[in-house]
Amino acid sequence: MKLLRYGPAGSEKPGLLDDQGQVRDLSGHVDDIAGDVLTPEGLAKLAAIDVSALPVVEGAPQDGLRLGACVGRVGKFVAIGLNYADHAAESGLPVPDEPVVFNKWVTCICGPDDDIVIPKGSKKTDWEVELGVVIGKGGNDIPQDSALDHVAGYCTVNDVSEREWQIEKGATWDKGKGFDTFGPIGPWMVTRDEIPDPQKLGLWLEVDGHRYQDGTTETMVFGVAELVAYCSRFMRLMPGDVITTGTPPGVGLGQKPQVFLRPGQTVRLGIDGLGEQTQRTTGG
């Protein structure tokens, strides 16, 4: 299934994408794509629904019909840094021995095609295409060999980052990662049964038509199962939590000379089987 949320910001309704690319309304069955809906039991109930009997939502998704973040009421938005060896190299940092974990504030979450608002005075706003992992079955101290059983599905994430606040204003990355609109998620969450191996997905990102990132999750330092197990050692994962798993090389910080976003640009990104995002940059 491809689960999504559609409608105006703050008033999104639950839906799914059918095989014809139409959005079907799920609000007669669930109130949101969130919480217990994402547990194995909740997803099984959705999978049993006759999709052809669901109301068709007017408008083409991402072309007149706005999509919100594909997961609602996210409790934790956990991010992983330097999880591709070649990205660590372009950042001038060693490959970590253990996952680098930081937070993106949940208030940064927005729809996949909403504008990226460059913070006032920012000269170093950057992009990062990443594989997002949505937790379905909660828990802590999750064994790595069963960690994927705790995953509801996967989605595309742009881990937008303000590098001055991230790197130059103290030791905590969180400050540069959680500005409003710095967490586009979606367009949809693809359930785990449709992604047989999350370590075999291509991912890419372009700015104004120039491709900066073109990588594969095969080159992750720590794979999805290891990350889920690792994070569960020091936090209880809950249904609807999102872990975004790091970015391949090609970020603006790593260009020579460095390149950062400015107002009026278009960012496009995507992951195999998980859909694409398009954002315009504003503010600054």
Q: pLDDT digit string (tens) for 208-225?
A: 999 999 999 999 999 999
Q: Which residue has the tokens 């260009």?
A: 255
Over residues 248-260, the pLDDT tens digits come to 999 999 999 999 9
Residue among 185, 179, 188 nearest 104 (CA) = 179
Domain contains 59: no
Quote the tokens at residue 178: 């959680």
Domain contains 256: yes
Question: What is the number of domains present in the chain?
Answer: 1
Host domain of residue 209: 67-283
Domain contains 202: yes
pLDDT band at 94 (very low <50, low <70, confident <90, very high): confident
Domain contains 108: yes
Residue 198 preceded by cis peptide, ω within 30: no
The whole-chain average pLDDT of the chain stands at 96
Domain contains 47: no
Integer CA distances (angstroms), 190 to 29, 97, 194, in order: 19, 30, 7
Domain contains 53: no
Over residues 76-85, the pLDDT tens digits come to 999 999 999 8
Mean per-residue pLDDT for 128-141?
98
- Residues in Cβ contact with 141 at an 8 Å cutoff, skipping those fewer than 6 apart: 232, 233
| pLDDT surpassing 90 at residue 48 | yes
Q: Which residue has the tokens 């949101």?
A: 32
Q: What is the pLDDT of residue 155?
A: 98
Residue 40 preceded by cis peptide, ω within 30: no
pLDDT band at 171 (very low <50, low <70, confident <90, very high): confident
Q: What is the pLDDT of residue 89?
A: 82
- Residues in Cβ contact with 150 at an 8 Å cutoff, skipping those fewer than 6 apart: 135, 136, 137, 138, 139, 142, 228, 232, 237
- Residues in Cβ contact with 64 at an 8 Å cutoff, skipping those fewer than 6 apart: none
As a whole number of angstroms, the distance between CA 115 and CA 155 comes to 18
Name which of 1-5, 172-176, 197-201 the model is least confident about: 172-176
Domain contains 1: no
| pLDDT surpassing 80 at residue 93 | no
Domain contains 13: no
pLDDT band at 172 (very low <50, low <70, confident <90, very high): confident
- Record the pTM: 0.97
Question: What CATH number is associated with residue 159?
Answer: 3.90.850.10
Amino acid at 168: E
